[in-house]
A = this chain, B = another copy of it.
Amino acid sequence: MNESRKYKTKKQVSEPTLKRLPGYLYFLEQQKEEGVLNISAPTIGKKLSCDPTQVVKDLSVTGIKGKPRVGYNTYELIHALEEFLGFNRINEAFLVGAGNLGSALMAYQEHQELGLKIIAAFDTDEVKIGKSVGGIHILDYNKLFTLSGRLNVKIGILTTPNNVAQDVAEDMVNCGVRAIWNFTSANLDLPEDVIVQTTSMSSYAAVLLRRLNDSDK
């Protein structure tokens, strides 16, 4: 499948595991605030209502070892998780499409905790161009190519209307973007080695609405 995988030395961590890691991190940071120095997998599992052995397996990807009868060192584990996830680095990103969702992501403070820094936003709407949201300037989309040459940005956040998503995604790739966080409903057709992470609101809505419907008989 993914051709880029075959040169990997260590096995890729599974997506379910990766998605759970920020949850552990958030909880551990809470615990650290409360002065908890050590924490065991069963304690984490109980609080997050998941299987303790799964907690152990998930956390093992960081390389941190826990001590029997003591658990993990909170600080050490937090640090290792941040390191593993790349949250303690600065990961620069472009955002294209400064509409409602795009603006919200620009203003969203918590991205900084993820080490994600949107350094510029682009749009074609002249009303938006020149303005700033959350301290991030909205630039003319035409400047994407000239700007990207200097900046070496690897991450693109795609919050355009669906009908232009494919074109913009291709432009991003041509500008050196290697990973796209796709908030549109478009099914992006891009080179194999481009990482596409789609966050589809409608997928979540689908699960929610269906489960709700299931539940009332």
Contact = CB atoms under 8 A, between A and B. Distances in A.
Interface string A153-194: 011000000100000000000000011010001110100010
Interface string A200-217: 111111111111111111
Number of copies: 2
A91 to B, nearest CB: 6
Contacts of A27: 187
B179 A211 contact: yes
A206 B22 contact: yes
B202 A113 contact: yes
Interface stretch (A35-43, A69-77, A102-110, A137-145): A102-110
Given A26-B202, A47-B187, A202-B110, A155 B207 contact: no
Contacts of A201: 108, 110-111, 114, 199
Contact of A189 (B49, B108, B115, B216): B49
Contacts of A103: 100, 104
A209 B100 contact: no
A13 interface: yes
A194 to B, nearest CB: 9
A115 B205 CA distance: 9
A12 interface: yes
